[in-house]
């Protein structure tokens, strides 16, 4: 049975790594942008840890999803807020779980409707493999090998906790 690592430890490590990238000059004055909902929680912690002056941005990619004709509109959609211009800025895009890459594709499209950033770098808490698009993260908290019926979920914001959910068992009528 797989147990999930502690989210807060992983975020600390991600922060160190991003700090290193700033130090070596790979990114300059990063603009942190978290994807609703889990990515926004992580980005908030990174924002505090890295002591970034510029305000945090959040994205809800519901209007940019590729499965609208299959799933309709998400009734819990939240407003996206990018408080500063993204033009010529180095963006650190933060999400909780990187899987197919489709969420990141949607997020990139949305960011480019706001302007033309200098660069976009991806930082994720968990990379669970299973990519369907040519998208990779530069900073990864933890790589996790999961079966197709297994999912990893982040709950929060206080406390932030990772859980591995077995969807097959739930469908089979698991007692609560």
Q: Tell me which residues touch other proteins (CB under 8 A).
A: 60, 62-64, 68-73, 75-82, 109-110, 112-115
Q: Among residues 9 and 54, whose Cβ is nearest to other proteins?
A: 54
Using H for helix, E for strand and C for coil, what is the string for the chain? CCCCCCHHHHHHHHHHHHHHHHHCCCCCCCEEEEECCHHHHHHHHHHHHCCCCCCCEEECHHHHCCCHHHHCCCCCCCCCECCCCCCCCEEEEEEEEECCCHHHHHHHHHHHHHCCCCEEEEEEEEECCCCCCCCCCCEEEEECCCCCCEEEEEECCCCCEEEEEEHHHHHCCCCC
Shortest Cβ 77–other proteins spacing (Å): 5
Shortest Cβ 45–other proteins spacing (Å): 24
Shortest Cβ 128–other proteins spacing (Å): 24
Q: Among residues 64 and 142, whose Cβ is nearest to other proteins?
A: 64
Shortest Cβ 110–other proteins spacing (Å): 8
Q: Among residues 73 and 170, whose Cβ is nearest to other proteins?
A: 73
């Amino acid at each position: 049975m797989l147990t999930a690592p502690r989210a807060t430890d992983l975020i600390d490590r991600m922060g160190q790594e991003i700090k290193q990238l700033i130090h070596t000059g790979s990114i300059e004055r990063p603009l942190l942008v978290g994807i609703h909902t889990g990515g926004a929680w992580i980005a908030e912690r990174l924002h505090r840890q890295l002591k970034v002056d510029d305000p945090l941005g959040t994205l809800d990619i519901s209007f940019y999803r590729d499965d609208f004709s299959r799933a309709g509109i998400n009734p819990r959609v939240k407003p996206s807020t990018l408080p500063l211009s993204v033009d010529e800025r180095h963006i650190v895009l933060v999400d909780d779980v990187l899987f197919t890459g489709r969420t990141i594709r949607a997020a990139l499209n949305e960011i480019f409707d706001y302007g033309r950033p200098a660069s976009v770098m991806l930082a994720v808490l968990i990379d669970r493999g299973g990519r369907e698009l040519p998208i990779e993260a530069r900073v990864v908290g933890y790589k996790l090998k999961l079966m197709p019926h297994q999912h990893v979920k982040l709950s929060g914001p206080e406390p932030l906790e990772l859980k591995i959910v077995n969807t097959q068992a739930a469908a089979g009528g698991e007692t609560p």
